[in-house]
Structure formats: C-alpha cells, structure tokens
Amino acid sequence: QQQVKQSPQSLIVQKGGISIINCAYENTAFDYFPWYQQFPGKGPALLIAIRPDVSEKKEGRFTISFNKSAKQFSLHIMDSQPGDSATYFCAAPEDSGYSTLTFGKGTMLLVSP
C-alpha cells in the first residue's frame, strides 16, 4: 500500500499570510493528486487537483506545486483568511485503475484574524 506523508500536522498562520502544506508519496506510476478541504462537522470536499503533466496549478488563492523527481506536492494558500481554517488532506491513487485513494493524515490549519 502506498504511503502518503503529509506535514505539518497543524499550522497557525496570520491573516494575509501564506499557508504551505506538503505531501510526499511513494508510487510514481500514477498521475492524479487531489487536495480535500474539511470544515468542522462536514464531510471533505475537493479543493483542487493536479495531474503531473504540469508542475503547478492555480485556482484563485490556492496553488498546487508538483515536484515529480522528489515525489512531492504542496498546497499553497495565498493571502490566507480566517474562513480557510479547516483540515486539509492530500491524496494519491493506490492503483492504476484509480479505484482507491490513499489519504494523508491531514493538516489542521488555523488562520488567526
């Protein structure tokens, strides 16, 4: 089973700052890496995803950076806002049929006002 190592476990950022969450994966055969965002009391929701034919994907204030040689991908939240306070999960496919995802253990982000 693929391991997906996510860091840090928790993160406190001031409003307007940059939040950075990192993930490392093992299996290089697959090419879909999503990030999910979970607010307290809610189910996770897809935030942004990347396929590594590109090294970066940006959607609004959220950017995924992908480093295939290092087997790492990162989520950057620019101009972090208190409303971004949530738990973030990275994930990677477990098999070539994309039947399962292995999730990181999550990062709890708190953006202070």
Partner 1 sequence: EAQVTQNPRYLITVTGKKLTVTCSQNMNHEYMSWYRQDPGLGLRQIYYSMNVEVTDKGDVPEGYKVSRKEKRNFPLILESPSPNQTSLYFCASSGAGIASEQYFGPGTRLTVT
The window from 21-29, 61-69, 73-81, 89-97 that contacts partner 1 (CB under 8 A) reads 89-97
For tokens 């399962």, name the residue.
Answer: 100
Dihedral angle at the C-alpha atoms of 11, 62, 6, 100, nearest 10 degrees?
Answer: 140
| Euclidean distance between CA atoms 109 and 34, whole angstroms | 17
- Which residues 56-85 are close enough to bind partner 1 by CB under 8 A? none
Residues 6+ apart with CB under 8 A from 83: 111
| Euclidean distance between CA atoms 103 and 58, whole angstroms | 21
**Taking CB under 8 A as the rule, does residue 23 contact partner 1?**
no
CB of 98 to partner 1, least distance (A): 4
**Taking CB under 8 A as the rule, does residue 44 contact partner 1?**
yes
**Taking CB under 8 A as the rule, does residue 12 contact partner 1?**
no
Given candidates 73, 74, 77, 104, which one binds partner 1 under the rule CB under 8 A? 104
Q: Which positions lie near partner 1, rule CB under 8 A?
A: 1, 6, 32, 34, 36, 41-46, 49, 89, 93, 97-106
